[in-house]
Amino acid sequence: MGDFVGVVILAYALIYCLSTLVVAKQAKTSFKNVCIALKEPTILALATRSSFSCLPSSISSLTESLKFDLQTVDLVTPLAITICRFGSVTYFAISSVFIAQLYNTSLGLSSFLIIIIASIFAGMATSGTTGVLTLTLLDLVLKPLGLPLEAVLVLLIAIDPIIDPFRTLCIVHTAIASTSVIADPRILVEYPVIDQGEMV
């Protein structure tokens, strides 16, 4: 189980870095500045383990710190957090491969396609759920593969307090990255200074 936890957290770390790079490119700023700007939603994601609790801070970070268009951010960010559940999708995909290995089940190309497609739909279904409720949706991926969830559910519940904060962080940051791709940074227009003497 230690290897499983390590692989999942490593995958989340890579996704976090990629998401931050996307935001940095869109905002035309450095990786470090993006990390500082997104400090509040990052801390909230790790502390609350609820992606929707991070929504207000995500919007304010994008609009106030990174200067993205407020109207687009207000519209896209809630939708991205609801639909783009990459944290759950990644978890379901890795868990399915791990469980298949536990049962010595070989996975072919068709099995991996099932895992990818089913993980996406199961991930989208996790909107509004946390903790154990999220884990039960893994059954949507395992059933087409003919794998039981019940035997490993207790193990997954035992390690979920470690993984859940990082899963939430991945959901929040990929939603922020998705929003940054759609929302344009605000352009600050510098107006010419008119000399009062010229107006006379």
Per residue in 3-18, pLDDT tens?
899 999 999 999 999 9
Quickly state the pLDDT bin for 30 (edges 50, 70, 90).
very high
Per residue in 128-186, pLDDT tens?
777 778 888 899 999 998 988 888 888 899 999 999 999 999 999 999 999 999 987 76
- The whole-number pLDDT of residue 188 equals 42
C-alpha to C-alpha distances, 79 to 73, 175, 178, 190, nearest whole angstrom = 10, 8, 10, 33
The CATH class, in words, for 2-182 is mainly alpha
- The whole-number pLDDT of residue 186 equals 65
Answer left, alpha or beta for residue 34, where phi above 0 means left and psi between -120 and 50 means alpha.
Answer: alpha
Per residue in 59-87, pLDDT tens?
999 999 998 988 999 999 999 999 889 99
- The whole-number pLDDT of residue 200 equals 46
Angle at the Cα of 89 (from 86 to 91), degrees rounded to 5? 110
The amino acid at residue 141 is V
- The whole-number pLDDT of residue 189 equals 40
Judge whether 170 and 38 are in contact, CB under 8 Å.
no
